[in-house]
Chains A and B, each alone.
Chain A
Amino acid sequence: MKFFTTHKDKFALLAIFIVAAVLYGATLKGLPGNPVPADFKGNLDDNAMPFELSPERGRFAEVMALGNNGTYILTPELRDVAYPDVGYIGDRYYAYFAPGLPFLATPAYLLGYDYGYSQVSTFAFVAFVSILTMLFLYKIGRNILKMPVWASLLGVFIFAFGSTSWSYAVTLYQHHITTFFLISSFYAAWKFRGNGRMSWMWGVFAALMIAIGLAVDYPNALLLSPVLIYLALSALPGKVEEQKLKLTFRGSILPAFLVFAAVTAGHLYFNEVNFGGWSRLAGTLDSYKKVVEAQLTDPSLTPDEIAAQSIDKTVTGFFSESKLPRGLGVLLFGQERGLFVYAPIFLLSIFGFAMALKRMKSAEIWVMLGSVLVIVFLYSSWGDPWGGWAYGPRYLIPAMASLSLFAAYFAANSARVFLVRTLTAILFMYSSAVALLGVLTTSAIPPKVEAVFLGTDWTYKRNLDFLLDSHSSSFLYNTYLRDYGTLAEYFLVLYALLLTILFSLILAGSRKKDAV
């Protein structure tokens, strides 16, 4: 027992790894085999199939281009796989997404390719990164928020399995990669601020994470800005003494700065070479979809003529204050995607933040709050807050990480122990059921406006039909377990496991004397 309590954090990290590996493994989306471009249309892009939506298709097409052809340029076959999210410059075609994720996932693709599981291994890469995020989240809960082990674990599991982030941890989306860079860079910046023996290395790590993060998704320039500012200010601590503002410049930030500059320069050079300008982003390329559509009506039109008719796209043009009210409604409260509808456990986060701000008065709480607000603010101003066809508010996944910790913070620190923990348990049970329902079935939930037109549902009720029909996206279930039971039974087994973990944690928290 003493050995356990002495090394409780190591055991907790191990527990996170095991639980996450089991649950992510059980729900990882995919099919065996190495897909080729001809497999996508009308097959792998069907509902509950691994490439049911265009974001994962587009990114996977880029991974295939890198892995098979050694270039980021899409071949005509891969261009059709990534369609409609394809832009072009000259005769070169690219997916509309930032290049970071395809580059990072390519080694996993190549590794799986040798064994005939290239799609599964590529998706598993995202799950692996998500597990790393969970480990950093735990460290933040323990070291920065000073939460007990059970509450830190609860926070981690709320993020991973009590929210719709789960659906995006087992497929090829950028959200969990962004979350990893956000959370790990924040933790590293905090370590750098602590000015310990190896703090310069933490500074380098933080800068590296931020710089790579910028290449994973373009809005990350704003999403990561609170951490970047925090890191920069940590290098310039100051205090007022006797009417003098004393500022100290920590030279240990210089290696971090050099790393940041080098990676960012590489990113900008990539843009220059591929997209025709260092500041030009993939998302602002001329649309290949417009070419296809325009040539349907007038085959004589050339891509240049079609591009000349289009309005120039700008990076900032995607966001507008006038979209904010609708975006907030959709992302927070709407039936289609609302955070508090899909995962009401996050209601506790509001109280958690308020409590932490009052109690801790530390810059770190403000950085975490700032990053949440930036994410909500940014994506609420986005023209498509729904995120196309999606399950839950996928754009808020990076914010969910911090929110989860503060939900657990509230559960751990509220004076009304019984009431709050009962409420936490109820909300977690509901939120995790919704999350599990989504991850086992489909993320292809249309926005209401499209759903009405198509005569389908626009909430997670649509997933219930999939569940009852045993129509699953799970690689493990589809490949090995389908013959042993229905999807609903599989759901119940996983749900029982989740509830066991939840009640174990809450019980551990209720043992006052030796609460871990």
Chain B
Amino acid sequence: MPVPVWHCRQPIQDVLLTWEGEQHAVFFDPVSGDTHLIAALGAQLAEWLAVAPMDRDQLLHRLTHDVDWDELPSPDALAELLNSHLHRLADIHLLAESPATTPVEALAEEPSA
């Protein structure tokens, strides 16, 4: 069963400002012109997804292993945290969820000669 993947909608170097050691970052939505204060964890998600799209499990894996937590949240709490960040970042147009595609569908979408 294919799963949807998340990706970053914007060229992140132009629209995201982060500062070392700070708990917040700033995102500029070039479509609406709005500026949003976001959590540093949200900025981290966006930076990962700007490199390559990922599904929720891949993001959970990275959150578990690549974030320097004071105290690692429980798996349920981490999943809930991820959900809340993804939805908030989707609401402000920084991230988007792509519909799932099966390998067959992907093949069907390829242009034919």
Partners in one complex: no
> Which residues in A have some Cβ–Cβ distance to B below 8 Å?
none
